[in-house]
Amino acid sequence: MNLLSLAIYLRNQPVTISITTATATDIPAIAELEQHYYQQEGYPAGFLYQALRQWPAALWVAQNENQLMGYALIAPAQSEQGSAAEPWLMALLVAAAGRGKGIGRKLCEAAINHCRGQGQQGLWLSVAEYNQAAMQLYLSLGFETIELRKDFLGPGEDRLLMRLALQR
């Protein structure tokens, strides 16, 4: 389903980026993007197929025609901050050639609209303090920093936990 579209310039050519929910045919390209950016730390295809099976409406792709430009994944989770179960943004990744053109923001908006439509109270994510591009995006969308968690993604991988209140 086409949820959003965005007109941008890529290599000086005007193109339209569509944001849709992903299907299984999108997984190889998502896994390739993950491996290209995160190398061995990237989510493998097996995890992404499993995620699509478990949370079929919570994986979005941004595409220029059939070329993957980015993706986002939401997963339900129990908040450690309280009793309410609130979802987490598990992944947000835009291909290097498409960055700085609004694709990350549109993917986040698709995820936020989905969570809001489900009646969720909040949306969580973790981000490295040094990741200024992501931090600025999240702050501009209204996310608030809750705390810095030591070793959140493994030894030495401290992360800021951020939450967006959805039902103000």
Given the rule CB under 6 A, which residues bind ligand COA? 92-94, 99-105, 127, 131-134, 136-137, 140
How far is residue 57's CA from residue 73's CA, in Å, rounded to a whole number? 9
Nearer to ligand COA, 48 or 134 (CB): 134
Nearer to ligand COA, 138 or 166 (CB): 138
Q: How far is the CB of 83 from ligand COA (least distance, A)?
A: 26
Report H helices in 9-162: 27-38, 45-54, 103-117, 132-140
Q: How far is the CB of 48 from ligand COA (least distance, A)?
A: 16
How far is residue 63's CA from residue 16's CA, in Å, rounded to a whole number? 8
CB 17 within 8 A of CB 5: yes
Residue number with the smallest Cβ distance to ligand COA: 104
Nearer to ligand COA, 52 or 104 (CB): 104
How far is residue 69's CA from residue 10's CA, in Å, rounded to a whole number? 11
